[in-house]
Amino acid sequence: MAKKKTILVIDDTESILDAMSEILKLEGFTVCTAATEDEVHEIIEEKNILPDLILLDVLLSGQDGRVIAQYMKSDPKTKNIPIVMMSAHPDVSKTVAEAGADGFIPKPFEIGELLSTINKFL
C-alpha cells in the first residue's frame, strides 16, 4: 500500500482550515494545518514533518504568505516541496510565481479544482 501523501494547509481562517482538512482527509491525505509562520516552523523543524505539498494563503494575519514561500523555496530542506498559493485576490497570481509558488488557486474554489491542482503536483 502506498504511503499517504501529507499536505500542509496554511491559512489564518479557522473555518477554511477545518473545511480543507476534512475534504483532504476524505480524499485520503494526511493533513497538517498551520495559521502562522511560527506554526509552520514548528511542524517542519521541531516535529520534523516534511509535507508532500503545501497549500498556502497569500494574506495571513500580519504576514505575507509570499515571504513564507520565498523562505521555503530558499531552504534546501523544503525547496522541492510544491507550493500552491491561494487568494481571494486573483490579481496576486503573478506575484505568487515571483515568490516561488508552483501554482495558484483563486478563492473561493471548487473542491474539484482544488483536488485536480493538488494531484497535478503530486
pLDDT tier at 67 (50, 70, 90 boundaries)?
very high
C-alpha cell at 76: 534546501
* pLDDT given at position 114: 95
The CATH homologous superfamily for domain 7-107 is Response regulator (3.40.50.2300)
Q: CB-based contacts of 89: which residues, under 8 Å, 6+ apart?
A: 58, 59
Instruction: Please report the pLDDT score of residue 6 as a whole number.
Output: 97
Domain ranges of the chain: 7-107
Q: State the pLDDT confidence band at 62, using cuts at 50, 70 and 90.
A: confident
For residue 77, CA distances in Å to 43, 47, 49, 81 come to: 13, 14, 11, 9
Could you report the per-residue pLDDT of 78-89, keeping only the tens digit for each? Answer: 999 999 999 998
pTM of the model: 0.95
Encode the chain in three state secondary structure.
Answer: CCCCCEEEEECCCHHHHHHHHHHHHHCCCEEEEECCHHHHHHHHHHCCCCCCEEEEECEECCEEHHHHHHHHHHCCCCCCCCEEEEECCHHHHHHHHHCCCCEEEECCCCHHHHHHHHHHHC
pLDDT at 1 over 70: no
